[in-house]
Structure formats: structure tokens, C-alpha cells
Amino acid sequence: MPQRKSQYHLAADMGGIGYITAVHADVARNNVLMNANMLEASHINGVGRFFFSSSACVYPLYKQKEPDVTPLKEEDAWPAEPEEGYGLEKLFMEKLCQYYYEDHGLETRVARFHNVYGPLGTYEGGREKAPAALCRKIALAKDGDEIEIWGDGKQTRSFLYIDDCLEGIYRLMQSDYREPLNLGSDLMVTIDELVDLIAGIAGKRVRKRYDLTKPQGVRGRNSDNTKMRQVLGWEPQIPLEKGLEITYRWIEEQLRKAGRLPCP
């Protein structure tokens, strides 16, 4: 008997904090329709295992009000207060995956991504995330220039390199674990520290100008990887500095190809 195929649902209408805080209706509608239809199509067509890429945006805002945040465990998602729009539709889809298993026997796997970054991603235009946006700003800056930082730079996050993300997805899909699982690094840094790391990779000194009128998202967020280590027997391996260097060099090269940076 042939083995039934797996379906990986990684698509989403999303972007950086500026986009997902400004476009609630479109983001929620587009993702709910996309997610529900992908799940139903997988059920109708006899897919053996369905992967859904959820987000750390499902976690309650009331647990993310301080920079020195307690790492978020999977069970912290309830009682719920997710981020408006994007976080709410992700949390709804997590429950829909549960219902499709309970009602139809469709094996579902759900990973909550924590700030995935890397080369080949969006780095300008309004949908880029913080690592890519800062790489672009620093690449375009001259030594000693000033760059704009959204917020006061003290907000905290953890960042997961794309190769680790893919390894985690693969391991989760091979497992028997049906509950949502964090997929992120547990190394928390401030945005100021992220800027300093990228500037060091670029070999530049930059001055920071803080814009407190721009959205900064939750004050602090970090991943508790206890359950990930138990379920997958693994945790992310690629250091932030290494992932940022690969990402920065790729973005720098794209800007050079576009004629926005001089050839070395």
C-alpha cells in the first residue's frame, strides 16, 4: 500500500510588525481562508500528515509586557489574548487542526515559529522583519551614520535561523506529537544588541535614532524550549552571529546587484 503524502502549509499573508499591526482585516481574512481551505483540501484528498506553521504571536499580550520576559511555554497560550489579526487567526487555526484530527483522523503537526530569519527573505518594502530591516539599513549606512530604530531598542526577542527552522519542521513531522510546539531559539537579545551584532559583522559604527512613534510589538518575547528538547531530542544549533552574518552578506549582495552599493 503506498504511503500517503504529507502536506506542508507554510504560506501566510504576513510581514514585519509595521504590516501586521496596520492591516488586521486583510491579514485575518486572507489567512483564515487560506488555512481552512488547505486543511479541508488535505482532508478531502487523503493527505496522511498536515503541517501548519503557527506563530509566537498566539501568546497572550499580558505575558509579554516586560523586556525581561519569562520564556513562553506552549501551555501559556491559554487563557488567550493573542496579537490582533495575525495572532488570533493563527490561534484559531491551531484549534482547527485539533478538530480535524478529532473529527476526521487527519494527523496534524503545529509549530509556533519565533522570528525566523535568513537569506532569500524580504528585506525591504514594508513586510520585512527586524533582522532583515536592520541588515539593510546598516548595509546602506556609511561608517558613523545614524540609523532609525523602531521603539527604544530595549524590547527583546529571540531569532531562529532558517536552516534550524527547517530541521525542526522535519523532526516534528517525523514525531507522534500532535500538540502545538515552540520552534525558536531561546537566546533572547534586545533590539539594541541585535543592531550591535549586525554592525560588527558589517565592520561599521552606527548611531541609533529611536522612533517611539513606530510600532514595536510586545515588549518582550522568548521561547521556552523545554518541550522541544523532550519531543524532538534536539534544539536549534546555529548561533545568532553566524546566521546574521550569512543574512547580512546576502542582503548586502542584493543591494550591490541593484546598484545601491558600490562594488568592493
Active centre residues (catalytic): 86
How far apart are alpha carbons 243 and 112 in whole angstroms? 20
Residue 201 identity: I
Question: Which residues are paired to 107 by β-bridges?
Answer: 49
* 82: DSSP letter: P
* 234: DSSP letter: -
Query: Longest Cα pair distance anywhere in the chain, in angstroms?
Result: 65
How far apart are alpha carbons 157 and 124 in whole angstroms? 20
- Name the pairing type of β-strands 116-117 and 6-9: unpaired
Q: Where are the beta strands (DSSP E) in 15-80?
A: 49-55
How far apart are alpha carbons 255 and 155 in whole angstroms? 28
How far apart are alpha carbons 12 and 35 in whole angstroms? 8
